[in-house]
């Protein structure tokens, strides 16, 4: 069961400082529609400067996410499912606090050089239950190692299609990080 709450600013678009409006794949209106969608945001922290940047961010409707999920190799899908079932850490307390530590390693997100946050939404509301959550760099690396070359190529194609830019940006997203679709 889930409850709905206002979308927290952490899940706003960095560019607009507002909730995401469109699906990155099909362009569907996410705020006016009543179809669920998710937001994924990746961050890199610069500890020497006490700063962090958004590496990439996007919102995707469940319909597009399901289509993309079906393109992943069976080997990767099974490996990810088994890993998640055996590695997920129980998160007591308020779901809003689930982003304080990695859902896989329980390492504090405040100590992570890189991390990704995920949330599920419907219209202008966040759906709170197992989401939102965060995954730190160690867990991202563990998950990446489980993926087949076929799945890595699909994820690379997605990232290349939507996130191209100067070499320093591409360098940040070049390590193959899972895109949870």
pLDDT at residue 96 in the model: 59
Q: How far apart are CA 155 and CA 124, in angstroms?
A: 28
7-65, pLDDT tens digit by residue?
A: 999 999 999 999 999 999 999 999 997 889 999 999 998 878 878 889 889 999 999 99
pLDDT above 50 for 167: yes
Query: pLDDT confidence of 181, banded at 50, 70, 90?
Result: very low
Instruction: Outline where DSSP puts E strands in 10-97.
Output: 36-46, 51-61
- What does DSSP assign to residue 95? G
63-117, pLDDT tens digit by residue?
A: 999 998 888 888 888 988 888 878 765 555 565 567 899 988 889 999 999 999 9
Q: Is 48 exposed, middle or buried (CB count within 10 Å of its CB: 0-12, 13-18, 19+)?
A: exposed
pLDDT above 60 for 161: yes
Q: Which residue has the higher pLDDT, 156 or 4?
A: 4
pLDDT at residue 144 in the model: 84
The widest CA-to-CA distance across the chain, in whole angstroms, is 43
* Mean pLDDT for the stretch of residues 117-126: 94
pLDDT at residue 176 in the model: 46
SS3 43: strand
pLDDT at residue 90 in the model: 58
Q: Which residue has the higher pLDDT, 146 or 87?
A: 146
pTM: 0.84
């Amino acid at each position: 069961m889930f409850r709905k709450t206002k979308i927290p600013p952490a899940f706003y678009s960095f560019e607009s400082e507002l909730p995401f409006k469109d699906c990155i794949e099909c362009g569907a209106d996410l705020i006016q529609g009543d179809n669920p969608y998710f937001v994924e945001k990746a961050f890199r922290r610069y500890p020497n400067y006490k700063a962090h940047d958004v590496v990439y961010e996007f919102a995707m409707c469940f319909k597009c996410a399901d289509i993309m999920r079906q393109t992943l190799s069976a080997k990767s899908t099974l490996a990810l499912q088994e890993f998640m079932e055996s590695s997920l850490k129980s998160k007591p307390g308020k779901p809003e606090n689930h982003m304080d530590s990695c859902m896989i390693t329980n390492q504090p997100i405040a100590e992570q050089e890189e991390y990704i946050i995920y949330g599920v939404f419907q219209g202008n509301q966040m759906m709170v239950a197992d989401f939102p959550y965060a995954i730190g760099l160690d867990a991202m690396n563990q998950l990446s190692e489980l993926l087949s070359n076929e799945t890595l190529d699909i994820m690379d194609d997605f990232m290349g299609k939507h996130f191209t830019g100067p070499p320093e940006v591409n360098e940040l997203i070049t390590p193959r990080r899972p895109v949870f679709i």
